[in-house]
Chain A
């Protein structure tokens, strides 16, 4: 039924061309499967939950011009004004998370330790920060207004209480019950009691090794600039952004104010990963396209070359289906060889990428899915020329050329 032997002997006469097609498909499979595993990993990383209501948050970067500036008074006036604005759900004074800028340090569970610290990012915030960021308190309590202190950035004064993320709690106290235990910053001996645990917060650098380990201090750090974090009611973010820009300048124009959405800052942080995803997607689709074009070109060429033979076969009684089937089978055999080569090449290429650039390992299932798709693309490209071949008239056999 299946004319495998004649196909093989015909292919043998075109071995170089057939091998070139197989080689193309193989290389393409190696590239496409490795690219898709990278794309997948980056997409998952970007889609990770951040633990905060990022879609509703607007931040106002505020830099006073320090000339006898009454900072506390400015905070009070600004916060009162902001909380009155229509559409504002909550507001606080802290630093914007997910934006690629912040502080981190090593934390211990015992005083006076020199080695073995756990890295974590730290933020300072007041009693509104959980609400303003839209985080979920899963254990313990929030800070109270009387616990918030104004701290100079150069002092090593430490707070006595802290709120941390669940992830950090699990890392530092694997046996559980982190609540009520103490943390030590660096190698010092000042205990900071854990009074609350929030579900999640990726911190300032979601791509770093400390992402998710986050510590909050009940303080407002005196620095050169501050971020007001304002959470809008759902759907009100853009209106709040405009209003905030306007009202803050209205209240005091003699300062630097930059208002942005948190989504924009997160997108900016992930710009590199995003570029990688888009570029790789482009590479994958272009490559598949080029290979499909190549297959179309070559199949058309072979059919033109074999017009006379096709005519003879038709004259001898072969059906149209038989002719189309012949070329599709031929294509399938070449593609299968290519894909088999490609599966091996994909693994080798992946070894190289993993050892050289720390890319994720390529699971066989991904290669198989890509292989299947490529086989389908290859057959589809051969389909139109193969169907056209079936239209070649048996009369062709009687022509001399």
Chain B
């Protein structure tokens, strides 16, 4: 029966090519606009750490100004101070813990024609790779002592290893980074989650690090973070050492806690730590800390910003207009066939048969609209990639799930649009048309 309805629908569409084309165009444009913004929002709210969402936590400590809370929705600074990071790293409760921040500098190779270039680096404690599940191609992470002492070792990502050593096993070789020689101890797969859930302070959709440096090098290299530094307290800072001991926050901190019991113990540890600091005159605000799962962290940091959500609403309103448009056109088209339907009804077609026949016709229009809508979505995303000048490259792309959703959305909306016109036509009174014929 469906096959027969489809062939009827196609015949009917061919009979009114202009009206049919208008309807397909309306649905296609509506779906194209809605899917472009829905895809952007969907890609922006992806969680690269979804697999470990139940065990990873971003740590926040409220060391802020007694007069006013930190200026963000969590009312705590996003990052923690260097000295607190060092203290927290001493805890043996978490399965893994990572203190880290963004850095960078020029890379050179001895006896090489390579022009110096700027590498994006991550200064981090050794658990980074285990905590975030970044797998090694060659070698492994540095030894634990490198997190506290100056050990000039480096982990490269695959692309950097390709660029510097043609992809060979480079463990044991030396690179010059910021003018100092570093020994390669490992090569990891490229890891550029988008959004950059582990570092939401430096461009949510930008690339992540090319190379990884141990956390014990701050004093020797006088490392100044390339990430955000925030402070509230006026302090005399005469030397690099003073800066490390200051209330400035610039270190990102993550822990892995595998069980509820472990999490409870870690919360007790943090409470005890803050109380101890309070007794020494620090942490002037009410005792507060934050442990956010990756999914919560993305929401808290407002990765999908106001503009994106506004566009989402706007494009849904757009789709609504296109639907109203389709309803009006379908109604016009169906009513035009009223005499024909009158004859069919008189020959014994039931109301439900007429209704489903017309609904199938709406569905066909929706399918065609959906297919063209996908093309329009791809064009829309390409336009956004170009306009945003590289900021959106990693999110303005469509996966098969979104393509299927586009067709689904188109068919669903055209069926919705077809409901009233199909019902209306199924109410046709056969007698009027039999009389005039």
Contact = CB atoms under 8 A, between A and B. Distances in A.
Interface size class on chain A is 35 or more
Interface in A239-289: 253-256, 258, 267-268, 271-272, 274-276, 278-280, 282-283, 286-287
B373 to A, nearest CB: 13
A359 interface: yes
B106 A255 contact: yes
A91 to B, nearest CB: 22
Nearest to A280: B314
B240 A279 contact: no
B25 interface: yes
Contacts of B292: none
Interface string B395-426: 00000000000000000000000001000100
Given A271-B388, A286-B33, A287-B321, A253 B115 contact: yes
Interface stretch (B94-102, B131-139, B150-158, B322-330): B322-330
Given A63-B105, A63-B118, A279 B19 contact: no
Contacts of A153: 224
B315 to A, nearest CB: 7
B310 A357 contact: yes
A66 B178 contact: yes
Interface residues of B, number: 67
Interface in A1-50: 16-17, 20-21, 23-24, 27-28, 30-31, 34-35, 38
Contacts of A305: 335-336
B363 to A, nearest CB: 20
B239 A283 contact: no
A76 interface: no
Contacts of B336: 301, 304-305
B281 interface: no
Interface stretch (A137-145, A292-300, A388-396): A292-300
Nearest to A296: B22
B112 to A, nearest CB: 12
Contacts of A176: none
A353 interface: yes
A158 B18 CA distance: 74
Interface stretch (B122-130, B230-238, B259-267, B293-301): B230-238
Interface string A222-252: 0110000000000000000000000000000
Contact of B328 (A298, A304, A359): A298
Contacts of A63: 105-106, 118
A65 B116 contact: yes
Contact of A154 (B68, B224, B384): B224
A83 B342 CA distance: 88
A224 B33 CA distance: 45
B179 A67 contact: yes
Contact of B26 (A28, A31, A293, A352): A293
Contacts of B176: 65
Contacts of A297: 18-19, 22, 328-329, 332
Nearest to B396: A275
Contact of B237 (A67, A155, A272, A282): A155
A283 B315 contact: yes
B387 A278 contact: yes
Contacts of B116: 65, 254-256
Contacts of B106: 63-65, 255-256
Contacts of B435: none
Nearest to B37: A279
B389 A267 contact: yes
A254 B108 contact: yes
A286 B327 CA distance: 18
B289 interface: no
Contacts of B315: 283
A310 B307 CA distance: 51
B179 A294 contact: no
A360 interface: no
A317 interface: no
Contacts of B420: 16
Contacts of A114: 67
Interface in A97-138: 114-115
A64 B424 CA distance: 76
A14 to B, nearest CB: 9
Nearest to B33: A283
A275 B321 contact: no
Given A156-B235, A255-B116, 15 more contacts: A27-B317, A114-B67, A187-B233, A188-B234, A275-B384, A278-B383, A290-B25, A290-B26, A290-B321, A291-B325, A294-B22, A297-B19, A297-B22, A297-B332, A298-B332
Interface of A: 16-17, 20-21, 23-24, 27-28, 30-31, 34-35, 38, 63-67, 69, 114-115, 153-156, 186-188, 223-224, 253-256, 258, 267-268, 271-272, 274-276, 278-280, 282-283, 286-287, 290-291, 293-294, 297-298, 301-302, 304-305, 349, 352-353, 356-359, 401
Interface of B: 18-19, 22, 25-26, 29-30, 33, 67-68, 104-106, 108, 115-118, 176, 178-180, 222, 224, 233-240, 242-243, 306-307, 309-311, 313-315, 317-318, 320-322, 324-325, 327-329, 331-333, 335-336, 383-384, 387-389, 391-392, 420, 424, 436
15 contacts: A16-B420, A16-B424, A31-B318, A65-B179, A156-B236, A156-B237, A276-B311, A279-B383, A290-B26, A290-B29, A290-B322, A297-B22, A356-B306, A356-B309, A359-B310
Q: Which 6 A-B pairs have CB atoms at the shortest separation, nearest pair first?
A: A187-B234, A301-B332, A67-B179, A20-B328, A186-B234, A357-B306
